[in-house]
Amino acid sequence: MDNKNKTINSDDLLNQSPSKLDNTKTVGDIHVKDPRIIAKNINVYYGKKIAINNVSIDIGKNEVLAMIGPSGCGKSTFLRCFNRMNDTIESCKVEGELYLDKENILDKKTNVVPLRAKVGMVFQKPNPFPKSVYDNVAYGPKIHGMAKNKIELDEIVIKSLEKAGLYEEVKDRLDTPGTSLSGGQQQRLCIARTIAVNPEVILMDEPCSALDPIATARIEELIYELKENFTIVIVTHAMQQAARVSQRTAYFHLGNLIEVGPTDKIFTKPQHKLTESYITGRFG
């Protein structure tokens, strides 16, 4: 059932726990016409502590969805559901249904290796492998058997670096260590490594938090370009960044999806008091 838009005056919710917010329905339309991802009633627990509380949302094809909210609100935990990275945390348990192109990826039968090729991830801090620039990008296509020969592999590497806006800067030093690049270049190398295996979805967990303003601007331009071919979900603490790069924004608070909607409306006319309080800097 679709969530109905309404204004909620709820200052007293600021200090409540996720369980106390159980009856607070997400404000805004959680559905999109052409979804790539459909999340239904997702709960995430660390031991007995609930980190994500009954979250449902669609994410569209060729859409950039920004997830915002104060530290500890669960947005990165929710992001990691999309490629089953939470599986690596022993105390973590995920409930609900999460569909990628109509396949429930939370099904225990799902093979996470091809899943993580379909759903790539760029982390907060650039993490190039201790290999050459070329081998960083070639690594994924090699292990997935995507190239029959060196010529095909070269083509994948060059195209990926071009899509990441990095090729012209590194074309004469493909054999140098990826770790020798600047921070912004390393992050674009990680993006090239991610797109080299032809993912459908790219997850970005605060990809610019360790970068200077110039490198950040280049990554933001790249996100805008990449949405032509990929679905992108970005977690960010920088509200200005969310406003610049995304078409839809989802606001999380204490593990709950409080509000979701077109980015311009979220930032200019939020309907939930918690969203308004966060946007205007009352907390966060």
**Tens-place pLDDT, residues 85-121:** 999 999 999 999 999 999 999 999 999 999 999 999 9
User: CA–CA separation, 206 vs 163, rounded Å?
Assistant: 20
The amino acid occupying position 74 is G
Please write the tens of the pLDDT for every residue from 53-67: 999 999 999 999 999
CB contact at 8 A, 128 and 188: no
Q: How far apart are CA 144 and CA 152, in angstroms?
A: 13
pLDDT band at residue 10 under the 50/70/90 scheme:
very low
pLDDT digits (tens, 9 = 90+) for 129-174: 999 999 999 999 999 999 999 999 999 999 999 999 999 999 999 9
d(CA 147, CA 151): 8
Which of 214, 159, 213 is closest to 191 using CA atoms? 159
Q: Is 13 helix (H, G, I), strand (E, B) or coil?
A: helix
Identity of the amino acid at 255: G
Task: Write the single-letter amino acid at 73.
Answer: C
Nearest to 231 by CA among 25, 60, 27, 33: 60
Q: Is the pLDDT of residue 16 over 60?
A: no
Distance between CA atoms of residues 86 and 77, nearest Å: 7
Distance CA 137, CA 153 (A): 9
Name the band, by pLDDT with cuts 50, 70 and 90, for residue 284: low
**How big is the chain by its Cα radius of gyration, in Å?**
19
H-run or E-run covering 280: none
Backbone torsions φ then ψ of 116, nearest 5 degrees: -75, -10
Dihedral, CA of residue 81, residue 86, residue 87 and residue 88, to nearest 10: 150
> Are 232 and 65 in contact, with CB atoms under 8 Å apart?
yes
